[in-house]
Structures are given as structure tokens and as C-alpha cells.
Amino acid sequence: MSTVSLCPKQPPKLRLTPLNLKPPSQSSPIAYPSSCSSSSTTASEVSTQSELTEILPNLYISDINVAECHTTLSSLGITHVLSAMSGTVHIPAALPIHKLQIPLLDTPFAELAAFLPNTTDFLTDALRDKNAKVLVHCVKGVSRSASVISAYLIARYGWTTDQAVNYIRSKRMNAQPNRGFISQLDEYARSLNQSPS
């Protein structure tokens, strides 16, 4: 029985930008083939590429295709994956990765707030380790994953929802939590400001 790799043998070279917590300029996402099944990308595949974006040092956002690619996770040295979606996520079992999955639908009525303490704790604990590299993903890397990272930024830096979302969008232009998640992030920020430190 032979093993077939579904990921490219050599991922593209990474272009990462340094952390800049002032209003940052747009960074370039790192592109990987959406199927993660070809060793080369043709011109016709460029429009369907998945993107991985570094939001903070060692904190990345992507879609599910990147999260399920053994070569990508391995080459980046990803140690933790937070999946913000319902359904099955096929994170390669061969990799020693700490995982957290929250069964969250991308609808304005989904209860994001119930998961925020756990997701924020997961990210905080992981990023305390200077050698950890954390990937947060959802299906498209647009709403749910951006909401989870926004909550982390709100808790970590005391930012408002607008500051957190705008910071993420400065790195990943298509990131946009849905309106229900924005409301819940606003409430989360208010609850943190009312809590004794």
C-alpha cells in the first residue's frame, strides 16, 4: 500500500511582516493552493488559492484548506490549531498539534459569546510559549476566525471591537465578522472593562 501526499512537496516561500500594533499597513497573505494537492500552481489556479495571514507574531488566520494541509502546518511549525466551525476538520493526526474546536455557525444569531472565554484562554496559554505557533481558522477565514482573534485582541490589549477588527483587516482585507458577532464582541469588550483586573 502506498501513501499519497495531498499537499505540495515544497510550499511557497513565506513572506511574513513584523508586528506593528500602530495602524499597520496591509500585509501580504501567504498563498497556498486551495486543494493542497498539487506541487505547483498554474495561472488558472491562482484565483482559488487559500491564504494564510500572520496577524501577530506566531498567530495566523486561514481557511480550512490551510488547516488541513500537513505540509503547510509542518513547514510553519504550527503547534496549536483553533477551529471555529462546526463539522469535521481533518487536521493531520501525524502532527503533534494541540487542538480546540468550537462548533460555531457563521450566522448573525450564532452564540459566539459562549465560546469566547475558552478561545481567549486557549490563545493566551498557547502564545505564552515563545516557540508556539497558532493557527485560527474557519471555513473561509473571514468571519468566525476573525471574530475569535478579535476577542483575543480585545482581552489582551484592551482594544475596542472596532480597533481589533480594523487591525485584523489591515492584515487580511477580507476579514469581516458578521453583524451578530460584532454585537457580541462589543458586549464582550464591555464585560472585560467592567471586570476588576
Active-site residue numbers?
138
**φ, ψ dihedrals at 169, nearest 5°:** -65, -25
Q: Are the C-beta atoms of residues 53 and 17 closer than 8 Å to each other?
A: no
CA 15 to chain centre: 17
List C-alpha distances in Å: 22 to 15, 73, 84, 116, 168.
20, 29, 27, 25, 12
d(CA 186, CA 51) in angstroms, rounded, equals 27
d(CA 119, CA 134) in angstroms, rounded, equals 12
Cβ neighbours of 142 (radius 10 Å): 18
Cβ neighbours of 13 (radius 10 Å): 6
- Find the helix or strand (DSSP H, E) in which 53 lies: strand 50-56
d(CA 56, CA 6) in angstroms, rounded, equals 28
